[in-house]
């Protein structure tokens, strides 16, 4: 029986691996290790992509003057900021926190604030404000560092962080289209240590609107630098227990906390190839998704931007949905339960549009129209934002805008529907309802509804598909 098994092994691998009496011969050892290391590296690339993307968010904010615990940002986001699928619907408040100094309190006033804290791996840590336990009524949220061992004090909404670096994204709803009031509201958020510290100074708020910024990993994502950034991040932060097995995969590739990263020429070539292949695979998965559950409706091309909805960490009852996780983080940043819920209690919903009604990818050299029935069933507002398929950020054109929004460009709509336009040239009289695209480039959109109502989930209301305008 043992001989028969050995014969089957020899037969199965004779085209690539050679064995005699069950032992590898010739170049088989080298070939098998090269293949195994490449496979391991590609899988590690896909799993740790959110971590490297998280490091890019930190770097991009540092470069415009945001300093952990000291200087926070106020940003009316526009195309000059490269941020994966960000939008200009609401002003942003980027806050970087460093919990290595101990627990920090984030105190919110009552009002229309949406705040999410995530760790450096882009794992969800806390929702605050409207989607959080305070429900927009204000409250004190306490972020505990990973190594905190004290008692949890009363009087706070307590959240235990999984890294010392916290990326906190605050958004302020521009009620009635009042952007200035929304930006002013961001500066009313207070951050301070749980225990008074003589070295602490009240953080400043810096308006970084209009500054060019890049919070994406584009410069690293398809080359060896990806692994250098990953090693630095793993080495800096406390190990997260939930990634124990995945750190083992990195260690086999030479990336280990507390040890220098010095791959030889062979391993460096493998890691470079893994970055190229892993990135290509994630791009295919993101824009060529084959899962049946991607479609919102069977008679439309619209897809769910997020394939999972149970929690903010892409878990099913039995496993991590790694496909859903990879698709989301290749084209977006941050995740929370409130973002993915598929019922009328959701804070918002996101649909992905990247094909026309014929199933063809959207082409920047062609003109399209999109019919949207009115009214759109949302308690707050809605928008359609155009993204460059290369950067996955808001499209940059001479028009200098990438979104059509019900609070602004579309605030005076009347009738039973509106026709929106997308293309290199505006149809006569439709400039206000059109977003410019670039010939030779691909693009996609997110259709967002804030405060979605039941009709957006039960299929009784749905937008049309993109149609080429000839």
Q: Provide the Cα torsion 167, 168, 174, 179; round to 10°.
A: -60
Contact 124, 337 (CB under 8 A): yes
**The CATH homologous superfamily of the domain defined by 67-210:** Domain of unknown function DUF1254 (2.60.40.1610)
Q: Is the pLDDT of residue 11 over 80?
A: no
Instruction: Share the mean pLDDT of the chain.
Output: 93
Options 3.40.50.300, 1.10.3720.10, 2.60.120.600, 3.10.450.50; CATH for 290-468 is 2.60.120.600
Give 344's pLDDT tier (boundaries 50, 70, 90): confident
Domain with CATH 1.10.3360.10 in the chain: 33-55+219-285
Q: Is the pLDDT of residue 5 over 90?
A: no
Give 196's pLDDT tier (boundaries 50, 70, 90): confident
Contact 406, 413 (CB under 8 A): yes
Strand order through the sheet with 368-373? 434-436, 417-423, 368-373, 467-468
Q: Is the pLDDT of residue 108 over 90?
A: yes
Domain with CATH 2.60.120.600 in the chain: 290-468
Options 1.10.1200.10, 2.170.190.11, 1.10.3360.10, 2.60.200.30; CATH for 33-55+219-285 is 1.10.3360.10
Give 431's pLDDT tier (boundaries 50, 70, 90): confident
Tens digits of residue pLDDT in 228-248:
999 999 999 999 999 999 999
Task: Give the count of beta carbons closer than 10 Å to the beta carbon of residue 297.
Answer: 12
Task: Write down the pLDDT at residue 343.
Answer: 85
Three-point CA angle 358, 361, 367, nearest 5°:
80
Give 2's pLDDT tier (boundaries 50, 70, 90): low
Region 215-226: mean pLDDT is 97
């Amino acid at each position: 029986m043992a001989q028969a098994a050995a014969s089957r092994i020899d037969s199965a691998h004779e085209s690539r691996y050679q064995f005699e009496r069950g032992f590898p011969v010739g170049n088989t050892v080298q070939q098998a290790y090269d293949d195994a290391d490449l496979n391991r590296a590609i899988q590690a690339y896909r799993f740790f992509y959110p971590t490297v993307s998280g490091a890019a968010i930190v770097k991009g904010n540092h470069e415009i003057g945001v300093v952990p615990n000291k200087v926070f940002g106020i940003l009316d986001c526009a195309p000059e900021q490269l941020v994966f699928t960000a939008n200009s619907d609401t002003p942003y408040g980027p806050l970087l926190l460093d919990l290595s100094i101990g627990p920090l309190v984030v105190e919110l006033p009552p009002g229309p604030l949406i705040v999410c804290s995530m760790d450096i791996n882009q794992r969800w840590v806390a929702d605050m404000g409207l989607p959080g336990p305070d429900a927009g009524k204000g409250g004190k949220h306490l972020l505990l560092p990973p190594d905190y061992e004290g008692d949890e004090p009363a009087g706070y909404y307590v959240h235990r962080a999984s890294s010392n670096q916290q990326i906190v994204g605050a958004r302020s709803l521009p009620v009635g289209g009042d952007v200035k009031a929304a930006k002013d509201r961001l500066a009313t958020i207070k951050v301070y240590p749980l225990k008074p510290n003589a070295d602490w100074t009240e953080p400043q708020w810096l308006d970084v609107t209009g500054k060019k910024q890049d919070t994406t990993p584009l410069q690293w994502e398809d080359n060896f630098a990806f692994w250098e950034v990953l090693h630095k991040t793993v080495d800096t932060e406390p190990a997260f227990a939930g990634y124990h097995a995945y750190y083992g995969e990195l260690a086999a590739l030479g990336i280990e906390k507390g040890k220098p990263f010095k791959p030889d020429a062979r391993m460096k070539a493998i890691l470079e190839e893994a970055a190229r292949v892993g990135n290509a695979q994630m791009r295919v998965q993101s824009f060529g998704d084959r899962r049946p559950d991607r479609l919102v409706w069977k008679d439309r091309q619209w897809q769910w931007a997020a394939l999972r909805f149970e929690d903010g960490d892409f878990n099913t009852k039995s496993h991590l949905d790694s496909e859903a996780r990879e698709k989301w983080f290749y084209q977006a940043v941050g995740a929370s339960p409130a973002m993915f819920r598929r019922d009328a209690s959701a804070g918002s919903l996101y649909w992905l549009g990247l094909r026309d009604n014929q199933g063809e990818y959207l082409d920047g050299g062609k003109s399209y129209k999109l019919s949207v029935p009115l009214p759109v069933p949302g308690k707050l507002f809605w928008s359609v934002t155009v993204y460059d398929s290369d950067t996955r950020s808001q499209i940059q054109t001479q028009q200098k805008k990438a979104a059509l929004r019900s609070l602004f460009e579309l605030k005076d709509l009347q009738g039973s529907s509106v026709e929106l336009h997308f293309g290199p040239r505006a149809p006569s009289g439709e400039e206000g309802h059109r977003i410019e695209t670039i010939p030779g480039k691909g693009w996609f959109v997110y259709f967002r509804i804030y405060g979605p109502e039941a009709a957006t989930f039960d299929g009784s209301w749905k937008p049309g598909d993109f149609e080429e305008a000839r």
